[in-house]
Each structure stands twice: as structure tokens, then as C-alpha cells.
């Protein structure tokens, strides 16, 4: 990942002369790094430890993880874009309530759409769809990024963070489904005699698994600064 | 004062805009949501009955189903499944109150000869991997064709878990859940008998 | 009456918001490094949840349901919570500066605590009457407070343990929480919801 970033940077550095009006490599470099930032180096769940409730509560299967991830991705990208577009119109003092209403609007939109077109998924996600409103990732990105940056960068940030969230949820869901239920996407893989490790689909197992994943992720990304220790939802 | 006005206007505009857009989306999705709910109901009704060809969710009677824990009267709605005008079974939902961690809602179908045509678990909060084995098709099919009169080899009423002498499997580590379901199914059969003896 | 006592115990331990329902995790991991922070966060959250849930219950009964706009619940409830948080911050700052000193910094974090929104939403789903709402709205945050106290006491001790570098902070807290959740599973089946 870092290599791609570097390549993008190099391209932009080497060819500063190419300047088609409305198209600048500089800009795309920014957009790309905004995107990768959320997906990897500041992964909202594993690195920033945000949005844990939905992450842990619904990832009992790949399908649920993917569904919730898509809902989160949509709300995050949409609200980031809209908030960024309105950032100069909304006065600073009522910023937070206005952001929350916009986010809640997107969430209700998702809620109604899912109820209408994906009823099975809607039922298994239950109360965690309306609770996306209170997902710290979304308000945190609105406040920290969308309120200060132009629309295109905010959308890229939303997409990156959203995909980071989606991927983490899908991975967690898949691991929990394989061990806790012996299936992948509902199809049995270990045969009839496999005794599922129930703990993986219980709340307790989700805590332990995410704890281990966070640890491994820290090892993998080799960060010296443990950001995760000092984060709540600011 | 002017500053405050601006704040109020901005916030009101955001709220009104959101409410208006959501109102539109609600109006747009309402019918589909209603349709989905109806289809789901029909699916669960049909799943416990032999093949039917009537509009099953519109062919029903309401009967008195005793009282719930708070003492409020409970209505049981009996849906009639018909094939070529002939009654093939009645489907209704009942609630088992003594599950391990909450109510279990069960849909059950009964043939005119008072035998069970099938049961389906509509909602439950039992422990994953233990109590929630009641969701398995194999376990639920043990009820098929049984009635209150059915006996095991030893002449004991069949509709009980094996631990209590009956013929329905319990699961190792989870007896309470299947026992609650069996009990509720027996209650359901009694309600059905009372209703059919009246009419 | 005994129903209400059972409901209280059920929301407090059997269906503990953090350890069995997996709600309110951000502050649970975020501010529990010290016991005194947990006390502040727990108290502030209790106040907001109880008041916001009762307000939400009344507004739903007298405004949303009669107008058939219950689909706006999420929007309205989160607005109630945000407004309540802002108001109590302002009032607290003016009237009791001492209390504001200790609780004030936690108030803004409450808006994004999903347990706060979950309580009124679940109350609506369950169709509770007024007294049940009151008991539930006190029991749920009390359970949250209990969980915060337990984990922060453990974390104060964890500070002295030798933990691999990559597991320090959130990772080890999550694993500890997992073991706690296993212990709390022992309560399940004690009281039926």
C-alpha cells in the first residue's frame, strides 16, 4: 500500500508540467491518499477503535458483516459529501446538531430502503441500523474531515473509511461464521460432524477476537504510537 | 440577536429539509415495505401447511387464547389454508413464555384431524449454538403428524421431550428451550381443539 | 411491582448493555483507563439516558404516533439527546461549576454513545408503559455504569502488568472484556426478559 502511495507521489513529482485545466495530478495524489488513509493506515475499527458496537454485535456471519458494512459505507460517504457541501452555510455554533440531523437523515433513508428491498438482512441487523447514527466513525469524520475539506476530498475520505469499516466487518464476520458455525456464506465446510466453537458467535468471543485482531494489526502496520489507547469518540 | 436568528434559521432549514426528503422516501417505500411484510407472513403461514391455493392471510377467525402474564386477554388468529375450497389445515402463531432467555414465537399448522402439519420458529433469543438448535429443520420435523393422542412405544404421550418420557429430542446442554417449545405446541393444540369444538 | 424489580435486575446484569448487548463500547474502551473517569462518564450517561428516554417516550406517545411519523423516530430521538446534552452542559456550567468541572468533559461524548440512542429505541420496540419505561431507563445505564466500574478497576491494575507492546491499550482491554462477558453469561436464564 505504501508503495502505491509513493508511486503516486513520484508521478506527481516527476511530471509537474502536465497541467490540463481542471485536471491536476497533485489533486489526484491527495484524493488517493485520503482514500488509502481510511482503508489502511487509519482503519476506523482496527486503528482508531471506533464504531465498535455494530462491529461486534452483528458480525456473526459474512452476510451480516457485509450488509452492515455497505450500510455504513453509504451513510459515511453520503453524509461526508453533503456536510462538506454545506460546511460554509452552517454556522459553527449549531454545527454538531446540524451534522447529526443530516447523518440521521441518511440513516433513516438506509433503514427504509433496506426494509423495503432486503427484508431478511434488515431483520437480522435489527436495531443496529438506526444505531448507525450514533456510530462514532461518522460524526468523527464529519467533524474532523468533512467540515474542513472540499467535497471531492470528503467523499474520498468517506469512501476510504467506509471501505475500511466494510472490510473489517466482513473479515470478522467470516472468521466468526467459519469457527462459530462451521459455514461460509451459509454453506457447511467442515461436514456434519464438526462441533462449532460456539464462543465465536457469542458476545464474549467477539471481544476476544477483535482484541487479537487489533493486536495483530498493530504488529502488522508497525506503528510506534498506540493511537488506540487514547481514543474514545472525539 | 441577529446572530441567533441565523443559527435558528440554519438549523430549522436543515431539519425541515431532512424531514421533507424522508417523508418523500417513506411515501415511496411504504407500499413495498407493506408488501414485503405481507409476503413474509404468507410464507411463514404456508411453510407449516400442506399446499394451499387460497388467499390465506385474508381467510381467518379470531378466537380467545387465554391471558398473558400481565393478565391482558390474548387473541389467537387462526388462518385457514384451503385447497380447491377444501380446508387442508389451520395455521396460527403461539408464544412460548418459558424459553431460556425470552419469548419464543412459534408458527404451527394443524390439519383438520388435529395432527400437526409443521412448526416454524418465527423469533427467538435463545443461546446461539445451544437453545437455537430448535431452528433446525430436522428437529422441527419431529412434530409432523403428531397430535395430543400420539403415544411413544411405551404408551406415553409423544409430545414431550425425551427427558420427560416423550418422543421429542432435547439437545445436550439445552433442555429448557425444546421443553418450552413442546409445551407451547401442546397449548396450541388445545386452543385449536377448543376452537374447532365450538364451531 | 415484582415485575418491575425483575425488569430492573434483568437490564442491570442479565441483559447488561455492555457485556451482553454489546452497546456503548466507545466510552467503555475510550475513557476507562482510570476509575475516576468512569465515575464521571457513568454518572453523566445515566442522567442523559434516563431523562432522554422519558422525553422520547412522551414525544412518541403524544406527537409521533398520533401524526403517523414514527419513521422519524431516529432523527427526533437523536435530536432530543443532542439538545439535552447541550442544555445540561450549559445549565451545569452556570449553576454548579464544581459538577461541571468533573462531569462536563464527558457530556459531548454522550451523543455518540450508541447505548444512549438504543435505550429509547428499544423501549419503543418493546412497547413499554410509563413505569416500565422508567425502570428500564434507570436499569440500563446502571448496568452500563456497573460495567464501566468493573473494567476501569481491572485496567488500573493492568497498567502494572507486562503486556506485549502491540496488545497494550485497546487490544488487551477488549480481550479482558471478552472474559468478563463470559462471566456475565452465567447470569443468562436467571431472569427471563
- Distance from B186 to chain C by nearest Cα, in Å? 21
Structure confidence by residue, pLDDT tens digits, A34-62: 888 888 788 888 877 788 888 898 998 99
pLDDT in the model for residue A52:
87
Is C193 within the bounds of a domain?
no
- Using alpha carbons, select from A54, A53, A102 the residue that is nearest to residue A78: A102
* Residues forming beta bridges with residue B44, ordered by sequence position: none
Angle C162-C164-C166 from CA coordinates, rounded to 5°: 140
Using alpha carbons, list the distances in angstroms from residue C14 to B69, B70, C7: 20, 21, 10
Using alpha carbons, list the distances in angstroms from residue A198 to A190, A195, A201, A202, B101: 15, 9, 6, 7, 17
Range of the domain at C24: 2-185
pLDDT in the model for residue B197:
79
Range of the domain at B180: 48-198
CB contact under 8 A, A116 and B6: no
Is B60 within the bounds of a domain?
yes
- The yes-or-no verdict on residue C127 having pLDDT over 60 is yes
* Position A101 confidence tier, pLDDT thresholds 50, 70, 90: very high
Query: Percent of chain C beyond pLDDT 70?
Result: 99
Is C192 within the bounds of a domain?
no
B16 has a chain A CB within 8 A of its CB: no
CB contact under 8 A, B102 and C75: no
Is C25 within the bounds of a domain?
yes
Is C191 within the bounds of a domain?
no
Q: What is the ipTM of this complex?
A: 0.89
CB contact under 8 A, A112 and C73: no
Higher pLDDT, B154 or C193: B154
Structure confidence by residue, pLDDT tens digits, C13-49: 998 999 998 999 888 888 888 888 888 888 889 999 9
Cell of B132: 437455537
Chains that touch B (3 or more CB pairs under 8 A): A, C
- Half-sphere exposure (CA, 13 Å, Cβ side) for C104? 14
Cell of C4: 418491575
**Helix pair A151-181, A62-85: axis angle to 10 deg:** 170
Q: Which of C71, C189, C193 sits opposite B26 (nearest CB)?
A: C71
At residue A17, what are phi and psi to the nearest 5 degrees? -75, -30
Q: Which of A207, A209, A233 sits opposite C112 (nearest CB)?
A: A233
Domain count, chain C: 1
How many Cβ pairs within 8 Å bridge chains A and C?
A: 159
Domain count, chain B: 1
Is B32 within the bounds of a domain?
no
Structure confidence by residue, pLDDT tens digits, B49-96: 998 888 888 888 888 777 666 667 778 888 998 888 888 999 999 988
pLDDT in the model for residue A21:
53
Is B54 within the bounds of a domain?
yes
* Position B1 confidence tier, pLDDT thresholds 50, 70, 90: low
Interface test with C, best of B17, B101, B102, B105 (most C CBs within 10 A): B101
Range of the domain at A82: 50-174
- The yes-or-no verdict on residue A227 having pLDDT over 60 is no
Cell 403428524 -> residue: B145
Residues of chain A with Cβ-Cβ distance to C22 below 8 Å are 53, 56-57, 203, 206
Residues of chain B with Cβ-Cβ distance to A94 below 8 Å are 7, 10-11
* Contact in structure between C47 and C88 (CB atoms under 8 Å): yes
Domain count, chain A: 1
Q: At CB < 8 Å, which residues of chain A contact B?
A: 60, 86, 89-91, 93-94, 97-98, 101-102, 104-105, 108-109, 112-113, 115-117, 119, 180-181, 196, 198, 201-202
- Using alpha carbons, select from A120, A112, C72 the residue that is nearest to residue B33: A112
Is B14 within the bounds of a domain?
no
Rounded Cα distance, B143 and A124, in Å: 27
Q: Which residues of B20-58 are buried (b: 16+ CB within 10 A; e: fewer)?
A: eebeebbeebeeebeebeeeebbebbbebbeebebebee
B12 has a chain C CB within 8 A of its CB: no
Amino acid at each position: 500500500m505504501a508503495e502505491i502511495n509513493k508511486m503516486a507521489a513520484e508521478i506527481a513529482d516527476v511530471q509537474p508540467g502536465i497541467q490540463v485545466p481542471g485536471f491536476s495530478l497533485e489533486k489526484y495524489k491527495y484524493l488517493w491518499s485520503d482514500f488509502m488513509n481510511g482503508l489502511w493506515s487509519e482503519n476506523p475499527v482496527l486503528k482508531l477503535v471506533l464504531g465498535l458496537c455494530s462491529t461486534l454485535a452483528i458480525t456473526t456471519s459474512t452476510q451480516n458483516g457485509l450488509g452492515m458494512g455497505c450500510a455504513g459505507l453509504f451513510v459515511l460517504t453520503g453524509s461526508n459529501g453533503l456536510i462538506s457541501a454545506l460546511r460554509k452555510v452552517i454556522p459553527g455554533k449549531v454545527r454538531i446538531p446540524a451534522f447529526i440531523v443530516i447523518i440521521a437523515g441518511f440513516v433513516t433513508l438506509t433503514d427504509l430502503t433496506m426494509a423495503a428491498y432486503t427484508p431478511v438482512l434488515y431483520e437480522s441487523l435489527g436495531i443496529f441500523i438506526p444505531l448507525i447514527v450514533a456510530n462514532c466513525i461518522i460524526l468523527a469524520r464529519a467533524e474532523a474531515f468533512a467540515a474542513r475539506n472540499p467535497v471531492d476530498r470528503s467523499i474520498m475520505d468517506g469512501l476510504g473509511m467506509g471501505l475500511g469499516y466494510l472490510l473489517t466487518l466482513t473479515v470478522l464476520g467470516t472468521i466468526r461464521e467459519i469457527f462459530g458455525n462451521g459455514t461460509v456464506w451459509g454453506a457447511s465446510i467442515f461436514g456434519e460432524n464438526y462441533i462449532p466453537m460456539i464462543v465465536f458467535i457469542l458476545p464474549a468471543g467477539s471481544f476476544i477476537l477483535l482484541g487479537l485482531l487489533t493486536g495483530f494489526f498493530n504488529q502488522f502496520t508497525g506503528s510506534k504510537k498506540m493511537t488506540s489507547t487514547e481514543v474514545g469518540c472525539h | 440577536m441577529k446572530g441567533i436568528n441565523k443559527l435558528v434559521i440554519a438549523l430549522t432549514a436543515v431539519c425541515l429539509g431532512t424531514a421533507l426528503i424522508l417523508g418523500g422516501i417513506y411515501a415511496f417505500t411504504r407500499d413495498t415495505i407493506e408488501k414485503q411484510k405481507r409476503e413474509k407472513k404468507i410464507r411463514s403461514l404456508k411453510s407449516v401447511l400442506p399446499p394451499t391455493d387460497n388467499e390465506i392471510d385474508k381467510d381467518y377467525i379470531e378466537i380467545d387464547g387465554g391471558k398473558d402474564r400481565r393478565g391482558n386477554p390474548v387473541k389467537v388468529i387462526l388462518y385457514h389454508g384451503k385447497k380447491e375450497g377444501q380446508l387442508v389445515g389451520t395455521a396460527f402463531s403461539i408464544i412460548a413464555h418459558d424459553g431460556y432467555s425470552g419469548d419464543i414465537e412459534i408458527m404451527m399448522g394443524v390439519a383438520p384431524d388435529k395432527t400437526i402439519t409443521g412448526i416454524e420458529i418465527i423469533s427467538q433469543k435463545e443461546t446461539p449454538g445451544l437453545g437455537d438448535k430448535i431452528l433446525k429443520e430436522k428437529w422441527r420435523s419431529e412434530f409432523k403428524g403428531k397430535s395430543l393422542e400420539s403415544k411413544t412405544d411405551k404408551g406415553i404421550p409423544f409430545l414431550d421431550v425425551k427427558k420427560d418420557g416423550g418422543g421429542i429430542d432435547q439437545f445436550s446442554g439445552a433442555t429448557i428451550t425444546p421443553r418450552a417449545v413442546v409445551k407451547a405446541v401442546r397449548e396450541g393444540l388445545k386452543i385449536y381443539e377448543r376452537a374447532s369444538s365450538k364451531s | 411491582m415484582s415485575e418491575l424489580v425483575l425488569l430492573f435486575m434483568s437490564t442491570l446484569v442479565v441483559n447488561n448493555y455492555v457485556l451482553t448487548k454489546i452497546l456503548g463500547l466507545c466510552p467503555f474502551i475510550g475513557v476507562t483507563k482510570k476509575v475516576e473517569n468512569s465515575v464521571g462518564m457513568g454518572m453523566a450517561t445515566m442522567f442523559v439516558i434516563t431523562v432522554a428516554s422519558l422525553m422520547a417516550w412522551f414525544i412518541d406517545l403524544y406527537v409521533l404516533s398520533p401524526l403517523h411519523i414514527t419513521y422519524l423516530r431516529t432523527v427526533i430521538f437523536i435530536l432530543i439527546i443532542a439538545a439535552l446534552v447541550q442544555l445540561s452542559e450549559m445549565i451545569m456550567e452556570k449553576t454548579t461549576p464544581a459538577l461541571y468541572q468533573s462531569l462536563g468533559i464527558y457530556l459531548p461524548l454522550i451523543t455518540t454513545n450508541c447505548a444512549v440512542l438504543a435505550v429509547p429505541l428499544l423501549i419503543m420496540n418493546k412497547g413499554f408503559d410509563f413505569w416500565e419505561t422508567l425502570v428500564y431507563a434507570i436499569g440500563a445505564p446502571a448496568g452500563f455504569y456497573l460495567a464501566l466500574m468493573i473494567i476501569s478497576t481491572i485496567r488500573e491494575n493492568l497498567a502494572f502488568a507486562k503486556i506485549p507492546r502491540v496488545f497494550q491499550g485497546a487490544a488487551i482491554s477488549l480481550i479482558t472484556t471478552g472474559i468478563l462477558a463470559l462471566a456475565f453469561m452465567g447470569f443468562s436464564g436467571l431472569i427471563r426478559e
